[in-house]
Structure 1
Amino acid sequence: MNSSDPGEEGAARESRGIQSIEVGGQLLLALAHLARPTPLKDLAAEAGMNAAKAHPYLVSFGKLGLIQQDPATGYYGLGPLALQLGLISLQQVDPIRLASAELPALARTIGQTVGIAIWGNRGPTFVRLEEGPTAVHVNMRHGTVVSLRETASGKLFAAFMPREKVLDALSLEAGAPKQRLDPRFEAEVRKVREQRFASIVDGTVKGVSAISAPVFDGFGKMVLALTAIGPSAALSADPASKAAKELVRCADAISAKLGALPAAASA
């Protein structure tokens, strides 16, 4: 009589995979990690196998369109099917939903209020807020449009959004005709772009500071700003602070889920 648990048998069937697919999949992971066309020897080494073992997998992946070989160089890169799958995946992923799921844990870790800002019709607009354990008294709610010049989120968008959109929003904010960026703000924006991080101390509200990190999609476009807001005495604006590092780590993790390359690679 067989006394095995049917539930355990079902779990075993679900967890059982096809080893050859898993082995070959290491080559696809290696191509994604290298992020450039690669010769067979280097690609195989990155996947932890020799070239003779890797080649048959690449032939099969080529027939499916997952990889393709450059006839001139012999290098291997991702094929048209891989690109199509990637584009479909990007279309199905909602950046706001992904980021919203991270807010409660991020607020607890940083110990401050955190939020999500996107680019709206009038500029940077907060669409999600998660209060932290430390109270902060600011007039902020869902739908609040913030200043490009006087907020961390605003500076971040000024650094990464198309210039014409930034100038239009600045004109709307100032209630004046569209003008070029003044040299001082241009320098601030350039620094923010280089650091991929923005901060402000005693900005629109005295005694309140904010730090902000960008989230990018697979096309390299900034889709939202992840921002922490708190008392200046408790929230450091230093990019090397624990709160800033945690904010950037979370933003980078969301970007990776959206298909973005790591900061060093995309730079």
Structure 2
Amino acid sequence: MTSAAQPTSGVHSIERAVSILRVLADTPADADAAHPGLALKSIAQEVHLSPSTTHRIIRTLVDTHLVTQDPITERYQLGPLAGVLGRKYLSSIGLESVQPILQRLCSLTGESTSLAVLHNDTAHVVAQKHSAQALRVDHLSGRELSLHASAMGKILLAFSAQGIDIAVQQLGKLEKFTDSTIASPVELTAHLHEVSALKYALNIGERYDGANGVAVPVLPYGKTSQHIQYALGIQGPSTRLTP
């Protein structure tokens, strides 16, 4: 019984550790400039674990340099190893130079920018740059976006290797988040064919009311495949980012 239970316990520990890393990754760097990072109590509340369990897991993450703790404030942030792994991942997919591009695009537009890759039927954000605006729309690294209700998701569907029709069929039931969400497979298919022809996609309040976005396909340098795996997007409030 003990040997059979150990793998399950180990998997749960890994899942909990990943949840903690996600919470830390979802915290904008400028959320509290005077006291960066999160307190143990806040992390525990976010991952729905007791403070003692959270502390035990996070100590292991600190020991392995995935998380770091400020010795004065005792707050936690992602550690140096997390940064190394992130850069290694971007390098492995040919996008190690994407951060300066996101920074430049953010500076030119004044809005938040991000890069997403197709992963498990979602648009998975792998890099981002937050706008300096107080009112902004951020897609944090690690966030999974609905393919049919995000500009980057539409790009990934429109340039899917399996073709638009099959890609839409595999989405199953389309959730309607707002009045503007395209929840009809027939309408979405027609819309994606337009996106494919135009080479850009818009999101006009389709996931959140008052939040718009635009995205374009990205082909890593040196790659010649016609199928796009990455999408570059700009997101902002509808008061500034208009069609």
- How far apart are 1:136 and its partner, in Å? 4.2
Determine which of 187, 191, 195 is the counterpart of 2:194. 191
Who is 2:84 aligned against? none
Q: Residues 136 and 167 of structure 1: is their aligned pair in 2 closer, same or farther, counting only changes over 3 Å?
A: farther
Structure having the higher Rg: 1
Matched-pair contact (CA < 8 Å) for 2:151–2:202: yes
Q: Secondary structure of the residue that 2:192 maps to in structure 1?
A: helix
Return 92-101 or 201-210, whichever deviates more: 92-101
Separation in 1, partners of 2:197, 2:115: 21
What is the TM-score when the length of structure 2 is the normalising length? 0.51
Between structures 1 and 2, the one with greater helix share: 1
Task: Establish whether residue 211 from structure 1 lines up as the match of residue 217 from structure 2.
Answer: no
Matched-pair contact (CA < 8 Å) for 1:125–1:145: yes
Aligned length: 139
Q: Secondary structure of the residue that 2:141 maps to in structure 1?
A: coil
Who is 1:56 aligned against? none
- How far apart are 1:186 and its partner, in Å? 1.2
Q: Residues 139 and 94 of structure 1: is their aligned pair in 2 closer, same or farther, counting only changes over 3 Å?
A: closer
Matched-pair contact (CA < 8 Å) for 1:122–1:172: no
Matched-pair contact (CA < 8 Å) for 2:138–2:235: no
Who is 1:227 aligned against? 233
- 1:194 aligned partner, one-letter code: A
Who is 1:167 aligned against? 169
Who is 2:49 aligned against? none
Fraction of identical pairs, as percent: 22
Q: CA RMSD in A?
A: 2.3
Who is 1:119 aligned against? 118
Matched-pair contact (CA < 8 Å) for 1:95–1:223: no
Matched-pair contact (CA < 8 Å) for 2:217–2:231: yes
Separation in 1, partners of 2:206, 2:135: 14
Separation in 1, partners of 2:106, 2:228: 22
Separation in 2, partners of 1:230, 1:224: 20
Note the residue ranges of structure 2 that are not aligned, 5 or more in a row. 1-90, 176-183
- How far apart are 1:103 and its partner, in Å? 0.9
Q: Residues 136 and 159 of structure 1: is their aligned pair in 2 closer, same or farther, counting only changes over 3 Å?
A: farther
Q: Residues 129 and 195 of structure 1: is their aligned pair in 2 closer, same or farther, counting only changes over 3 Å?
A: same
- How far apart are 1:138 and its partner, in Å? 4.6
What is the TM-score when the length of structure 1 is the normalising length? 0.47
